[in-house]
């Protein structure tokens, strides 16, 4: 059994802000390559308003295109109740509900207060349980906000407690602007795990300042075993000025495998997926390890 779980978010978080039009077929091909590499959990799209995030306008078409992929556990991001109503007609293993640790970011990101967001999440949890779909409650800007600056641990931990009480099946802590440091990560994630107790916890890392891998290792040291990353390190948030891409899936897999931590991923096939992800993006991907000659990677 693998030691850690990798959730690749490149089809959604990786492509959402890219001005280059990426076809439904290309997104489906990326998902297929990820699944063939052994990454079974993939955040394939998001049900957001097309006028706000045009790249995700084909959400339904993407899910239909990947629905037959053997071994895939598709995840979709949901910003509100309307988004869930659009998503629930499809076969999803999990929906990812996003809140924020600060009021300003929550309003800019999803247009509502944290309290209103929580109220809607409680409604969605009940419906999702009836529909047989798992829920993840993700907390954006958990380590720093582009509008409010520093974010206290207390703000994040209070949301973790409320998410658990609401019945979330998983909780994800996001460093949306890539500002965290390893000591911060280890300290906060240890506290999150205590509150979450038997509810699985993931970390979602951006690599804006080049500390993604170091922060992932600190999270692992704290006890985190679920990591959200993006092939080739593409991506960013449309409502977080200056935020760069995600921690590259292949960089994290390389780190863990070198440490004899089993990811369950075929590294060579993952590199193929990372190369393809990079080709879909008009931005310079942050991933590092795929640039190394493959014959030298393991040496």
Q: How large is the average pLDDT for residues 91-115?
A: 95
Q: How large is the average pLDDT for residues 5-9?
A: 98
**DSSP SS3 for 235:** coil
Please enumerate in sequence order all residues whose Cβ is within 8 A of that of 186, keeping only pairs 6 or more positions apart, or say none: 218, 219, 221, 222
pLDDT at 241 (0 to 100): 64
Please enumerate in sequence order all residues whose Cβ is within 8 A of that of 152, keeping only pairs 6 or more positions apart, or say none: none
Chain segment 192-232, per-residue pLDDT in tens: 999 999 999 999 999 999 999 999 999 999 999 999 999 99
| Burial status of residue 86 (CB atoms within 10 A of its CB: 0-12, 13-18, 19 or more) | middle
pLDDT at 145 (0 to 100): 95
Q: Which of 44, 211, 231, 237 is catalytic?
A: 237
Instruction: Please report the beta strands in 2-146, taking only residues with DSSP state E, as ranges in sequence order.
Output: 5-8, 41-46, 73-78, 94-100, 134-140
- CA 62 vs CA 12, 108, 252: distances in Å: 11, 26, 26
Is the predicted pLDDT of residue 161 greater than 90, yes or no? yes
Chain segment 66-93, per-residue pLDDT in tens: 999 999 999 999 999 999 999 999 999 9
Q: How large is the average pLDDT for residues 136-161?
A: 97
pLDDT at 295 (0 to 100): 56
Judge whether 136 counts as a catalytic residue.
no
pLDDT at 163 (0 to 100): 98
- CA 124 vs CA 109, 161, 243, 249: distances in Å: 19, 17, 29, 30
Q: How large is the average pLDDT for residues 46-52?
A: 92
pLDDT at 299 (0 to 100): 47
pLDDT band at residue 113, thresholds of 50, 70 and 90? very high
Calculate the average pLDDT of the chain.
94
Statement: the pTM of the whole predicted model exceeds 0.85: yes
pLDDT at 162 (0 to 100): 98
CATH of domain 5-297: 3.20.20.70
Question: Domain extents for the chain?
Answer: 5-297
Q: How large is the average pLDDT for residues 130-153?
A: 97
Chain segment 263-277, per-residue pLDDT in tens: 999 999 999 999 999
pLDDT at 115 (0 to 100): 97
DSSP state of 231: G
**DSSP SS3 for 152:** coil
């Amino acid at each position: 059994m693998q030691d850690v779980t990798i959730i690749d978010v490149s089809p959604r978080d990786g492509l959402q802000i890219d001005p280059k039009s990426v076809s439904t077929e290309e997104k489906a091909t990326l998902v297929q390559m990820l699944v063939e590499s052994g990454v079974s959990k993939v955040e394939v799209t998001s049900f957001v308003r097309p006028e706000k995030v045009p790249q995700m306008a084909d959400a339904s078409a993407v899910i239909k295109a990947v629905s037959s992929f053997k071994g895939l556990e598709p995840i979709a991001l949901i910003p509100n109740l309307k988004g869930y109503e659009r998503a629930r007609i499809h076969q999803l293993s999990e929906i990812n509900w996003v809140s924020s640790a600060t009021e300003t970011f929550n309003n800019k990101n999803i247009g509502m207060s944290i309290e209103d967001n929580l109220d809607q999440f409680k409604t969605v949890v009940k419906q999702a349980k009836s529909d047989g779909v798992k829920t993840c409650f993700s907390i954006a800007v958990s380590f720093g906000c582009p509008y409010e600056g520093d974010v206290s641990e207390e703000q994040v931990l209070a949301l973790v407690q409320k998410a658990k009480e609401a019945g979330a099946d998983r909780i994800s802590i996001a460093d949306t602007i890539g500002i965290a440091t390893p000591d911060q990560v280890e300290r906060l994630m240890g506290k999150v795990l205590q509150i979450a107790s038997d509810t699985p916890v993931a970390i979602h890392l951006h690599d804006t300042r080049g500390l993604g891998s170091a922060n992932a290792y600190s999270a692992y040291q704290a006890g985190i075993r679920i990591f959200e990353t993006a092939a080739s390190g593409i991506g960013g948030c449309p409502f977080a000025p200056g935020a760069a891409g995600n921690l590259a899936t292949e960089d994290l897999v390389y780190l863990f495998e070198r440490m004899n931590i089993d990811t369950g991923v075929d590294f060579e096939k993952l590199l193929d997926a990372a190369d393809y992800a990079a080709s879909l993006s008009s931005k310079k991907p942050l991933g590092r390890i795929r640039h190394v000659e493959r014959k030298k990677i393991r040496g």
